[in-house]
Chain A
Amino acid sequence: MTECVPEQAHRQYRNPRVRGNEREDGVPGEQELKTHHSRFRYVLEWVVTLDTAVPDAVNYRSMPRVSNYVFFLGGRLRTVSNTSAHSVLVLTLLVVPAVLFSIFEAQMLWKFGSGHGTLVVLFYYSWAVCLASFIRSATSDPGVLPRNLHVPTVCNDFELPREYYNMITLPSAHPEGRTVNLKYCTTCRIWRPPRASHCPSCDACVMTHDHHCIWINNCVGQRNYRYFLTFLTSSVVSAILCIIGCAIHVSKVSHLRSTVVAILLIVYCVLIMCYPLILLLFHIFATSSQQTTHEFLRNLTSKKAILHSFSSSRTNPFDRGSRARNMLSLACQPRGVSVMSAREKHPTGDWRFLNLPQQHSFEKI
């Protein structure tokens, strides 16, 4: 058998930026691309980068082709395409009560004096933290892992050996000798580290993947988990402060007619805080039992066993032995640096931006 010649056999997987062969293949070169794509289109693609954007040396222009991410403002913000824009609804639900509070309640409370001003300041502060956390968790990198790092061979359509379909069990640092399991992602072509998983909505592997949240339209993973928890906490706190402020207003006025907005805000905040509060309680119990949402759902044996599942599994190698330490290790996990930064540049022919053929094997073990 002769040596594999991938550049001939797999021309269709070549990165469009490999200039050396572009002219040979009949694909326009960089100079020609500049004439074809006007500056206006470039600016437009800087504002919103879809998978139709011309791939460039900057990562955000090439990433939409290998994932479902859409970037805004030169890769500074991101969201996931082909999903319902629930995050816009959440943003509206956040902004509307703050606007109503500012117009009808803030001034009134401030005038009451004796500590009521502090309440107003605290509300605005917690609301600002909530908004900032929402934006950060919804639009930042959740910890996407690069693709095609562990390609074993380029021959036979980048075939995968049988061993790469196995679940690998390795020893861990746990004092009771618990093991960690590793799996090869056949889509991203990497040996996924423990706790990472492939998100079908984002079409990417995410480090310490918690879940894909439809309300922020982004994955919650190692790099934005703390933002997500802050978002939940601050939304509950700001709703409580709003309820207290409005309740004071209602209690100090004799005519209820002048407090219609205050009553409306109380009802709205009570209803709206239920979901983040339940979710926050869930995350407190899940993290204290050293589980991500993904692991919790995987370990859930039946719907009736929800409460039983809030205890750490006997095979969990990440268990620290105490609920507080477990919670701390997940809620405060270091973010590290982005390993697929949208704003960094990549050289020509970078494998991370190639779409290699999907493997079809019936030999899964």
Chain B
Amino acid sequence: MDSTLASSSSRKDLEVSASKQALFFNYHEFSVTRYIDIGDTQETEHTDDQALCITHFPNVYCALGSLQFRETRLVRIPRRFEFHVDIPEFSTQLPGQEPAALVNSATNKRFVARGIYQGQVYGLSSVSPLSGHLSDAEFQEIVETVNAFLRQAYTCTSKQNFVNAVLDTLTFHLWNVMAIRMFKSPLLALEDYVRVLNASPWFYERKLRLISPRRSGYLSVC
């Protein structure tokens, strides 16, 4: 009897802890309830369940007010920490598919415009317009390639890191000056990958661009 009680209470604890377990979501998103409905001209207040989910942002990688700034938007792919906490790694799931994303069963993981906020069109779910340009598999392949370069560069237990640290200390930190000229860093190889990807017909024809992770401080890819 006691054991049954104990097991049932521990199961309850597990369920509670599972329900309290942190889930990943795109922390760049935010909600707004005051917006213009599609087909309307006046901004009106909406209920919380009708709040727009802001999934794309002003392009901070071009000059404020430039033509490119007006014509382009950013979809930020955040960093995730489920596999490594000290290595920058980005979410391999398209916005809207993360465990704690705002979902709308009616739209079936497609971006459906619901309202206009500050001159831009948004939907009710976390799904961004990027989902219309890239499939899940394509997106995953790109981000996994980016993550592989980052893992290579930021793994502290790698042989290369130890050898560099020892040689750098022994040579009055001159080794590093030579090493960056002698060996190509995986982070610079990643920049080359981004350049090639952006120039590829695949991205060029779809008018997509992957922002250099180095330029964004390895904080988000867009």
Contacts and interface: CB of A to CB of B under 8 A. Distances in A.
Interface of A: 1-4, 6-7, 10, 13-15, 18, 20-21, 128-129, 132-133, 136, 145-146, 148-155, 161-164, 168-174, 177, 179-180, 182, 190-191, 193-194, 226-227, 230, 317-318, 328-329, 332-337, 339-340, 347-351, 354
Contact of B214 (A169, A174, A328, A339): A339
Contacts, number: 173
B47 to A, nearest CB: 17
Contacts of B54: 152-153, 161
A359 to B, nearest CB: 14
B28 A191 contact: yes
B173 A227 contact: yes
A320 to B, nearest CB: 10
B204 interface: no
A13 B27 contact: no
Given A6-B65, A7-B65, A154 B81 contact: no
B80 interface: yes
B188 A349 contact: no
Interface residues of B, number: 66
B154 A171 contact: no
A7 B85 contact: no
B124 interface: no
Contacts of B119: 1-4
B84 interface: yes
Given A6-B58, A329-B86, 6 more contacts: A1-B119, A150-B57, A164-B30, A193-B79, A334-B156, A351-B61
Contacts of A317: 81, 85
Contact of A170 (B27, B28, B62, B185): B27
Contacts of B60: 148-149, 151, 351
B66 interface: yes
B165 interface: yes
B109 to A, nearest CB: 22
B24 A170 contact: yes
B217 interface: yes
A161 B156 contact: no
Contacts of B28: 150, 152, 191
25 contacts: A1-B43, A1-B119, A2-B119, A7-B64, A7-B65, A14-B65, A15-B64, A150-B28, A150-B219, A152-B28, A152-B54, A152-B57, A161-B32, A163-B31, A172-B82, A173-B82, A180-B85, A190-B217, A190-B219, A191-B220, A230-B173, A337-B188, A347-B63, A349-B64, A351-B64
B9 interface: no
A48 B29 CA distance: 42
A237 B129 CA distance: 59
A1 B116 CA distance: 9
